Structure 1
Amino acid sequence: MDKYKIILFDLDGTLSDPKIGITKSVQYALQKMDIDEPNIDKLECFIGPPLQVSFAEYYDFDEVDTQRAIDYYRERFKDKGMYENELYSDIPLLLKSLKERKYTLVVATSKPTVFAEQILKYFNIDQYFELVVGSNLDGIRSSKTEIIQYILDKYDEHRLEDFIMIGDRKHDIIGANNTGIDSVGVTYGYGSFKELSDSNPTYIINSIDEIKDILLASKVK
């Protein structure tokens, strides 16, 4: 039998590369807040964490300005940014293979659930996921710890040992550690090797192929 049964996937930087859509939407929001940032590469730090955290951390916005910035961000993201996104080429084959092996696949993202569901449909990979869990539009349940715990509660007939979280940022690993499940840090996304290793994941990998290798290697007699 397989050691893991329920595989949690982060979305941004793990299933797809959302750089253009996210950074240009952040750039748009900052312009609306009278801040000019011409270099979108400097905005990669917004890929992964909740927007509430990033606007406050990187631009020192208070709660009111943070919400204004998020509202501006979503103006552009809903219209254009959501689709300025590229699925990593090996992901569909990986998901198909895992589904055929009877793994339960779940998306665990800090992105609002409604946006995540639309993106999965846009890429035609929604068919592989039994559940999609993100944040609410009002910011409730935005931390990865809360999101993972919500999923664990949904599958409360399973043991913690049945779950594994796969993501590219420290927030994914910290959320997994806080909830007591294993994790995989992927370096092909937007978190550095140091960021991931400092967060103490169960595994660190460099390619999508290695995800399948880890799951196959987890088979126990």
Structure 2
Amino acid sequence: MKKYDYILFDLDGTLIESAEGVRVSIAHAMEALGLPCPDLSDYTKYVGPPLEDTMRGMCAVPEELIPKSMDIYRDYYDEVGQKSNRVFDGVFDMLSALRKQGKRLALCTSKNEPVAEGVADVLGLSPYLDAVCGSTVDGSRRAKADIIPYALEALGCTDKANAVMIGDTHFDAHGAELAKVDFIGVSYGYGTRESMEACGAIGFADSPRELLELLTSST
């Protein structure tokens, strides 16, 4: 596997187990708006895409209520939802080892950036990261294809061939494909290997330990 000096990590399903917090926050937003809640049993449908897309598509929130639904979701997620988050086993060891090798690391998530910063702080991820990069409230930066170039700039990366995106869903893989950055998928998250392969994933890891081995292997 090729070695990279700049490594971008998705958050949900890649560094942390967070689906339950996302689920309860969506359910709360729908209840608060008095709207029917869709079936949220399949995490793969709503963990990964931009929140706005989930509210507009899967949840069928009327256009005029989408901003309000997102505000309700974020407030509840900050207060309640994120309490169920946990870092996957082996993630801290992986990040620490990469930092010791001089790698530049960034969080690259579709979560609103201040929310992502809060999650990283609460879970103890921030000391291992050189940048936390997320979406903007005004929608000017929302999908992975927008956030990846922003994260590379934040890390000071001027050569995309020296960077890789790590994620667990086809949203991550497709964003990397559009941004013309290599993508490595993790199988322990919320997406499927097949969907990531279809978007050009060049490798897969079944655990953070395996991911570290892929990123540091000399072959």
By the TM > 0.5 criterion, same fold?
yes
Q: CA deviation at 1:35?
A: 3.3
Counterparts of 1:157 and 1:105, CA distance in 2? 11
Residue matched to 1:150 = 150
Kept in 2: contact 1:186–1:205 (CA 8 A): yes
Aligned position for 2:5: 5
Whether 1:67 and 2:67 are equivalent positions in the alignment is yes
Residue 96 in 1 paired to residue 100 in 2? Answer: no
CA distance in 2, matches of 1:110, 1:83: 19
Please tell me the root mean square deviation across aligned C-alpha atoms, in Å: 1.9
Contact 1:5/1:162, CA 8 A, preserved across alignment:
yes
Which residue of structure 1 aligns with residue 45 of structure 2? 45
The answer as to whether partners of 1:82 and 1:115 remain within 8 angstroms in 2 is no
Q: 1:67 to 1:38 in 2, by over 3 A?
A: closer
CA gap 1:107/1:40 in 2 versus in 1, 3 angstroms = same
Conserved? CA contact 1:29–1:73, under 8 Å? yes
- Describe how 1:174-189 pairs up with structure 2 within 5 A: 174-189=174-189
TM-score (norm: length of structure 1): 0.91
* More deviation, 134-143/57-66: 57-66
3-state SS of the aligned residue for 1:171? helix
Quick one: percent identity of the two aligned structures? 28
CA shift, 1:144, in A, is 0.4
Distance verdict in 2 for CA 1:157–1:131, change over 3 Å: closer
Q: Which residue of 2 aligns with 1:193?
A: 193
The answer to whether the 8 Å contact 2:168/2:189 transfers is yes
Please tell me the residue identity of whatever aligns with 2:60. Answer: D
Amino acid at match of 2:117: E
SS in 1 for 2:139: coil
| Structure 1 segments unaligned to the other structure (5+ residues) | none
More displaced stretch, 204-213 vs 161-170: 204-213
Q: State the Cα distance separating 1:33 from its structure 2 match.
A: 2.7
Counterpart residue identity of residue 195, structure 1: S
Q: What is the identity, as a one-letter code, of the residue corresponding to 2:82?
A: M
Larger CA deviation: 42-51 vs 70-79: 42-51
Contact preservation (8 Å) 1:25, 1:73: yes
> In structure 1, the residue corresponding to 2:58 is in which secondary structure?
helix
